[in-house]
Structure 1
Amino acid sequence: MPLTPEAVTAQGEVVAWLGSLGVSFAPDEEPWFTIDGFENSQQIGSDGSGGAFVLLPSQNVLYVSSEGRAGIIAESFEALIQLVVARPYWLDILKFSAGGDLQEMRRAADALEATLEDEDDVNEAREEIREHLDLPEPDDPVGALYDAVAASDAIVRATDGSPFTTLFNRFSIDNNPMLRNAAA
């Protein structure tokens, strides 16, 4: 049976562990964006940077950033949880994607993971969530993220009607000395 937001939020300990990875299941009260062609979408949560996770009728998960970027990031709610657990820095992978280059995203993921090696809290959260949800580790979370964002056709608009841009950003880890050194 697929994992649902209701199944996760019923487990307070899992919600707390996901919170330590930056995911909250308290949706925003005020709508601050619209999605063209989707009347029945459900905001299921948010992240620490003010972004929103939206479950679309297709069961895809859309991420809407507070900085005017949006796109589908997972094919299902379960795939979202797998992504967050495997790569809690998934948004930074997109930031350092060099405009949507999969190889750059893999380099960014490796560098970001290297910066977490001594983060026992992150590793403990990963283990606890996987155990409590009987969640398998995804085969290729970076590839799945790339595929979802690259195929995203959702048009998200701010309340003034202006469209949001893609989640792929133009930066590379070479633009960040800490990540550049971690990749070396």
Structure 2
Amino acid sequence: MPLTPEVLAVNREVVTRLGSFDISFEPDEEPWFAIDGIDKPQQIAGDGAGGAFVLLPSEHVLYVSSEGRAGIIANGFEAFVQLVVARPYWLDILKFSAGGDLAEMRRAAIALEATLDDEDEVNEARKEIRSALDLPEPDDPVGALYEAVAASDAIVRATDGSPFTTLFNRFSIDNNPMLRDAAA
């Protein structure tokens, strides 16, 4: 059976474990953004920074940040959960993508993995979630994230009508001494 928000919702233990990766499957009632061509966005989750995850009619998962950035991050709900489990710091990978450079994103992922605070706890959560959902580890989560964001064609707008910008940010891990040292 394919993984859907409804299938996930019945597994409260996994939902709780995913919460340790800063994903809450109790979305806001009222969206604070609009998506061109979609009347009622289906928000499936949120994060601690006020961002929203939306399941589009195409089955792609869109992330809308509270800071005016948006883009498709996964080609389906299962791919979204795989991304969150494999790279819980996926948003930081985009932050340190040097404007959408895949090689820089890979460097960021290595540095971010090396600087995890509770590596053993994260790995245990990954193992439990994958086992409970019979979820394979993705072959290339950073590459899949890059491709999804690069191909993102959803236009998200603030309540004043201004469009959100891409999730790719201009920073590099070289801008952050801790990450630069971890990648060395």
| Deviation digits for residues 49-74 of structure 1 (CA, Å, limit 9, x no counterpart) | 11000000000000000000000000
Deviation at 1:40, TM superposition (A): 4.6
Residues 24 and 118 (structure 1), Cα distance of their counterparts in 2 relative to 1, 3 Å cut: closer
| Deviation digits for residues 91-120 of structure 1 (CA, Å, limit 9, x no counterpart) | 000000000000000000000011127522
Q: Is the 8 A contact 2:31 2:41 kept in 1?
A: no
Specify the SS of the correspondent of 2:43: strand
Query: Percentage identity across aligned positions?
Result: 81
Structure 2: which 5+ residue stretches go unaligned?
none
Count of residue pairs the alignment pairs up: 184
Q: Counterpart of 2:177?
A: 177
Given the alignment of the two structures, is residue 34 of structure 1 paired with residue 40 of structure 2, yes or no? Answer: no
Q: TM-score, normalised by structure 2?
A: 0.98
Given the alignment of the two structures, is residue 12 of structure 1 paired with residue 7 of structure 2, yes or no? Answer: no
Q: Counterpart of 2:44?
A: 44
1:149 and 1:101 map into 2 onto residues whose CA distance is 11
Q: Out of 41-50 and 90-99, give the one that drifted further.
A: 41-50
Structure 1: which 5+ residue stretches go unaligned?
none
Deviation at 1:41, TM superposition (A): 3.0
Q: Counterpart of 1:100?
A: 100
1:2 and 1:76 map into 2 onto residues whose CA distance is 10
Q: Counterpart of 1:60?
A: 60
Q: TM-score, normalised by structure 1?
A: 0.98
Deviation at 1:33, TM superposition (A): 0.1
